[in-house]
Amino acid sequence: METLVADIWRSTPLVLLTLVGLIALLVEGSGKGRAAAVYWISLVGTIASFVLSFLSLNTEEAAFNDMILQGGYAAFFGMIFTASAFGTLILSRSYLRRLHTERGEFYVLIVFAAIGMMLMASAIDLIILFLGIEVMSICLYVLVGFLRTKLTANESALKYFLLGAFTTGFLLYGIALIYGTVGSTSFRAISAAFPAVSNQPLFLLGAAMLVIAFSFKVAAVPFHMWAPDVYEGAPTPITAFMSTGTKAAAFAAFVGVFLGAFQIAGSKLSEVIALAAAASMIIGNVVAISQSNLKRMLAYSSIAHAGYMLSGISAANREGETGILFYLATYTLMNLGAFGVLSWVEQKDDTKLTFDDYAGFSAQQPFLAALLSIFLFSLAGIPPFAGFFGKYYVFLAAVKADLTWLAIIGVLTSVVSVYYYLRLVMMMYFQPGGATVEEPPAQMAFIAVTCAAILVVLFGIYPSLIVDLTKEFLNI
């Protein structure tokens, strides 16, 4: 009993967010018109969980019979998830109110999805990993199809759900095969048994199934087909959530299993991941060029970014791990910001989402155009913005792991990506037109996006702010 209570204290970021989610649901059920109350409760909950995660960064302890690891790695990701959920909540409020479909469940599901993500990052047992992925995915299926009367939303929710359910099958089959060879689902036991089982066909088959499942969740080639359609049909704040929080959670689990439980450096698994990384970088960036819809363009760009980060996993060294953590933290900021500005410009009926709709944006809204430009420059990886260092770290890791070819592909495709990011900047600044926002963005949302932009610049100039945080628990 005492250990149980101690474990609960140890995992306060997770427990608190769960309690907040439950209270928010109770409030939502208690009567009509409670959406605003639910929104504020969720918002406060994510902030509190963020702060608690930050405070527990320096202590790393296992809890609940070696089921989850709290503090350190999990706390770092907890900060990313709660920040992403916070941003999504703020963007959702004005988005939903504009569509007159504000409902408390939307916010509750965002909180529950964040809980699932935190479980994925803190899992040191495949069972918890699976449960975390499912909690997150079920919330996302619903959030994507939340606007029930919109046909594209229905289509994307159905596509996401069917493919996601199929992926769950792969994940479970993989877990079952690994359990079959190792005899345990605990990361510690798998790690201990890895040298002995790593060449057994059954184990490799299980690991391959996990690669498939995780590649789907991070939207890496060849399991990326769902991403553009789902990103396009989902409500824009949810697209932002999926491309930041979900992606970070999937990478947290990917890194946890393939660098924590397995030791894949120099193995066949590392080669497979390197191929997926190369394919994601090439296909994501090349196809993004031909997109005219900005949400689709950012979907392909997110596939490309998954490729950059996968090269960090394939490198399987400390530099790679740090690189991915840095990348995810900054990527969350820049993508949330970019989608935030997009959600202000877009109209109720899904129009104003193409490049041409941004002609002359800088003349009408000079500040918003500047913000969007910062995010785009950062996504393109142009120094001194944070996106540059993210790429720098993962490519450096690839070079150190004798995967120079992968780093070369990464650099070349990054150059390609500059074209489509800057095309939007050119549109805003050098094309005449009257692009503007329908109504001025809500104050809080505006402040949040501005903060994101400031942080993107700050982390670009002082990357050590994040890197030092990760050093604490990665023991470099």
Q: Which residues bind another protein (CB under 8 A)?
A: 1, 4, 18, 21-22, 25-26, 28-32, 63-65, 67-68, 103, 105, 108-109, 112, 115-116, 119, 125, 127-128, 131-132, 134-135, 138-139, 141-142, 145-146, 148, 180-181, 183, 200-202, 205
| Nearest approach, Cβ of residue 200 and another protein (Å) | 5
Alpha helix (H) ranges present in 219-317? Answer: 226-233, 236-241, 247-255, 268-289, 294-315
| Nearest approach, Cβ of residue 65 and another protein (Å) | 5
Check: CB of residue 25 under 8 Å from CB of residue 46. no
* Residue number, 168 or 436, with CB nearest to another protein: 168
Q: Which residues contact 74 (CB under 8 A, 6 or more apart)?
A: 60, 68, 118, 121, 122
| Nearest approach, Cβ of residue 32 and another protein (Å) | 7
* Residue number, 115 or 435, with CB nearest to another protein: 115
* Residue number, 25 or 57, with CB nearest to another protein: 25
| Nearest approach, Cβ of residue 460 and another protein (Å) | 37
| Nearest approach, Cβ of residue 349 and another protein (Å) | 21
* DSSP, residue by residue, 153-186: HHHHHHHHHHHHHHHHHHHHHHHHHHHHHHS--B
Three-state SS at 63: strand
Instruction: Give the distance from CA 234 to its chain's centroid.
Output: 15
| Nearest approach, Cβ of residue 70 and another protein (Å) | 12
* Residue number, 29 or 366, with CB nearest to another protein: 29
* Residue number, 115 or 288, with CB nearest to another protein: 115
Q: How far apart are CA 362 and CA 274, in angstroms?
A: 40
Check: CB of residue 359 under 8 Å from CB of residue 427. yes
* Residue number, 105 or 229, with CB nearest to another protein: 105
| Nearest approach, Cβ of residue 42 and another protein (Å) | 13
Q: How far apart are CA 63 and CA 7, in angstroms?
A: 5
* Residue number, 104 or 307, with CB nearest to another protein: 104
Alpha helix (H) ranges present in 61-150? Answer: 73-99, 104-122, 126-144
Q: Which structure tokens are listed for 83?
A: 């920040």
| Nearest approach, Cβ of residue 456 and another protein (Å) | 32
Q: How far apart are CA 211 and CA 258, in angstroms?
A: 9
Neighbours of 135 (CB within 10 A): 19
* Residue number, 141 or 344, with CB nearest to another protein: 141
Neighbours of 136 (CB within 10 A): 26
* Residues pairing with 63 in the sheet: 68
